Amino acid sequence: MFSSRFFWTAAVGYLVLAAAAAWGFGQGSSPGAGILIWEAVLTVAGFGVLLTWGVLHRAAVRLAGITESAAARESGGALWSAPATPRGSARNLESAIESMNRQLETRIEELQRKSRQLQESTERLETVLGSMVEGVVAVDDSQRILFANRAARNLLDMQVTNPVGRPIWEVIRHARIDEVIRTVLAGGEATSLEIDLPRKHAVVAVLASRLPGNPTSGVVLVFHNVTELRRLENIRREFVSNVSHELKTPLTAIQAYAETLLDGALDEPEHRTKFVERIGEQAGRLHALIQDLLRLAQIESGDNVFDVRAVEVSPVVRECIDEHLAVAESKSQRLVTQAPAADLNVMADEEGLHTILGNLIDNAVKYTQDGGTISVRWRIDDGMARIDVQDNGPGIPAEHQSRIFERFYRVDRARSRDVGGTGLGLSIVKHLVQEFDGSIGISSEPGSGTTFTVRLPLSA
Ligand code: ADP
């Protein structure tokens, strides 16, 4: 109950006081009722002091225990329940602190893990967006740029190194983009549009979508460069229209001759043979056109249609010359060849090489005037086989030279038709040469002739 040290100190103190009183009275006065009264008073006072001290001490111990347990509950919850003694309280406090420490460590580790995960996913997102071909720009609700990937910076020609934080209208000056952002921010649906970027010579498809939130937290814009797509679409449209036109011309002629024959020309022997011959010619044109179209489609299909291997040039040149001898003779043209001492072998498909040289010789014979000369030379030049097909015909003006390899491009449309051209010959030649890893060039002077130069890899 009480601290025993204090109890014994108080008891001894009382005895000393009692002994001192007895001795004092014994010295100065005679013993009697006064002494007994003093002793009784001292005894009662002594016990009173001891009792009061004991009660106060116990109360103090209790109070300390209650205060500590309340403090522990406040800081960590119900970690222990009954502080029996100050020593027990200290132990409980220690274990509570340890438990709090462990909980804190666990929380810190968890937070660190979450922060790492967040950083990793942010980095992953930035890598994905950074490697995208499409440009991505995100703006907040006040049109300030939150993010712009590299493709967007290049495509939109952003002049600033770091556009983040700047108003989008300051970085991308395009009225239609401003308009679409405002519309989407005002609650509009995701919107797509196509814009021209004259400085970049590009056509760009834009998709603008709202960022989540109510009101929205911004707009994300995705930019897709569709210049090449639009160019190919135009080529396809142009090609379909050209093919239709090319097919229509001979068909219309055939139909007209047939109708004329049925309308009575069949009974006119001097006309009917001529008309039937014309029908034959036009049918031949149709056939040549369809053949060329099929060949072009086959080359462009990318299927492995060629058997590329070492091909000797001389025999192929000779075959092509032989095929054109009759026409050349009919025009009093000379067909000459100039072969190297040792023949060349090129890496090509034999039929493909035949088509290349056949088309070039055919054009030279077709477009060169009567009495002209066509020569074919081949040799090694700069580590490649070089084959020249030269004529002394009308030549090709400089402004047409870069376009004559396009499909259906003709310098003189009427002349080409007169001589049975399809407008596809040089296009086929160029595709084939490229297919065999070679190149084709032209050198021409109007009035003095044309030389087509084909370069092909030599076989090892
Ligand atoms: P085409 O069937 O009309 O000959 P090509 O593609 O072979 O079509 O040739 C394209 C155009 O190039 C021809 O229409 C012609 O105007 C011109 N051309 C080609 N070869 C010659 C040449 N040797 N001399 C002059 N013009 C040529």
Span 220-265, pLDDT tens digits = 999 999 999 999 999 899 999 999 988 998 999 999 999 999 998 8
> What is the rounded average pLDDT for all residues in the chain?
86
Ranked by mean pLDDT, which of 266-270, 296-300, 356-360 comes out on top? 356-360
Measured in angstroms, how far is the CA atom of residue 352 from the centroid of ligand 1?
19
Q: Of all protein residues, whose CA lies closest to atom 11 belonging to ligand 1?
A: 410
Atom of ligand 1 nearest to the CA of 411: 16
> Residue 29: its pLDDT value, please?
46
Would you place residue 413 in the very low, low, confident or very high pLDDT band (cuts 50, 70, 90)?
confident
> Using 50, 70 and 90 to split pLDDT, how confident is the model at 70?
low
Measured in angstroms, how far is the CA atom of residue 360 from the centroid of ligand 1?
Answer: 9
Look at residue 326 and tell me whether its pLDDT is greater than 90. yes
pLDDT in tens, 269-286: 888 899 999 999 999 999
Residue type, 244: S
For a ligand 1 pocket test, name from 404, 419, 430, 433 the mutation site with the most ligand atoms within 8 angstroms of its C-beta: 404
Give Cα separations from 185 to 164, 210, 220 (angstroms).
19, 7, 10
Tens digit of pLDDT for each residue in 8-26? 666 666 666 656 555 554 5
Query: Lowest mean pLDDT: which of 210-214, 338-342, 388-392, 421-425?
Result: 210-214
The reported pLDDT for the residue numbered 79 is 44
Angle between helix axes 350-367 and 313-330 (nearest 10 degrees) is: 30
The binding-site residues of ligand 1, defined as CB within 6 angstroms of any ligand atom, are: 363-364, 367, 391, 393-394, 396, 404, 409-412, 416, 421-427, 450
* Tally of CB atoms within 10 A around 289: 20
Q: Is pLDDT above 90 for 140? A: yes
Residue predicted with more confidence, 336 or 28: 336
pTM, two decimals, is 0.62
Report the percent of the chain where pLDDT is more than 90: 59
Q: Which atom of ligand 1 is nearest to the CA of 391?
A: 23
* 437's tokens: 């890893």
Mean pLDDT on 410-422: 86
What is the spatial distance between Cα 432 and Cα 388, in angstroms, rounded to a whole number? 16
* Nearest Cα residue to atom 14 of ligand 1: 410
Tokens matching residue 394: 């009308």
pLDDT over 70 at 130, yes or no: yes
- pLDDT, average across residues 180-199: 90
Over range 371-394, report the average pLDDT: 97
* 37-56: average pLDDT: 63
User: pLDDT-based confidence at 389, cuts 50/70/90?
Assistant: very high
Q: How confident is the model at residue 414 (pLDDT cuts 50, 70, 90)?
A: confident
Report the C-alpha gap between 88 and 383 in whole angstroms. Answer: 98
- Nearest-angstrom CA–CA distance, 246 and 253: 12
